[in-house]
Structure 1
Amino acid sequence: MKCPRCVQVIHRGAGLCPHCGFGLAEADERYGSEDVVLRRLGDAAGLIRAKDRPKVSAALDKFCRRFPQLFFAVYTGSGQGGGNLRQFGFWLLNRAAFEDVPVDRPNEAGILLVIDADSKSAAVTWGYQLDPFLTEEDTFFCLTRAHAYWLEGRFADGIVRMIAQLEKVLRKRAAQARRDPEKFERKVAPPARTGEIARRIREGHKHAAARTVAPAAKTEVAK
């Protein structure tokens, strides 16, 4: 994986980045250390029209059916990343308790798309179980498939297009894994406890200390 702050390649098992010292504790200091209650479609910035929400939800459901061990989630905010979506996405996937995701699909098996309305940027974060099957180049390519739609304010269409491209990538990697399973199994390395995407977050989905991400300010991005 790449460090969310300095973007240097690091081992997933490292609790702290050996290059810049970044870790989950630092992200907690910026964004909070409490659990965050979300649903797979968290449109805090209001970028997705009400009439388009069903098509995005349908795409998320379709992804879960095709990959029953995984899940895909979307979060839109306004300035939530503080100028660094990589760090915010890393933190959110660690701290999110997705109410509409079965408990047998831990955050380690999740893929999270974060769209920041203020900076007009997007980033993808995934759990360590996806490390053998996804690369930065893969997710960047998937984002490029959505870029033209997002420029036109068609956020739902862009998300659906991106998910469809991601499915193609994962199906290809799954076929490769069937041909050489040992190669892919060797790439899975659980992270150190200090930086893991904790399974405990979604045990029962709700906790007394759980909270929601603060609603984003109204955005001027065209809808």
Structure 2
Amino acid sequence: MFADDVFSSIHNSSDSEAGCAHMQQDLGNNQALADKWQSLHREKPGDLIEIFRSGFQHWAIYVGDGEVIHLTEGGGSAELSLRFSSATLIAVVKREPLSKVAGNDDYRINNSSDEKWDPLPVDQIIGAAKKWVGKTVKYKVTTANCEHFVNGLRYGKKVSFQVEKMLEAVVAGSAAGGGAITGSAFGPIGTIVGGAIGAMVGVIAAPVRR
């Protein structure tokens, strides 16, 4: 009887009702976050995987069974050393577990360019990606990086939006030779791209000596 009275008093309490409503809202919010997280991590073959490194994003393409194919250096899963990225290097295409490639970094599915371009058929994407595994390719951060590679596979468009954003910012904000300063706001890759563009802007803007 006592238990029934206690339950009744709690159930009928306005404070308790407010608390329950708040709890339900929290549960709803948590569920929404959980659903969003799952939607960003429920990989399907052909999905582009964006991995958040310090100062830049690494890209891979999901091929099923927990594995991705990506453009990387020959010695391991790490990306090509950024201090050399202003030059043309030789990279290798690898097929590795997503967990190994991502490591402790956050990642998400990012097929946002589907709004702009129609993705190629999944079988075609996966087939083309697998044919690249083990091959060496030329790598250059501004024209042939890991994002160019995966966009080429999914859409047939070799573009890198992180490079394009940096180029736009550097060109808009650069004075003669000042590109590296503007680009540095985008991390290591930004400094490399910014320095190169800043140098070009400096040459173009320099007065002609007569």
Which category of TM-score, normalised to the shorter sequence, fits these structures?
A: under 0.3
Q: Whose relative contact order is higher, 1 or 2, with alpha carbons under 8 Å and at least 6 apart?
A: 1
Structure ranking higher in helix proportion: 2
Larger Rg: 2
Q: TM-score, normalised by structure 1?
A: 0.24
TM-score, normalized by length of structure 2?
0.25
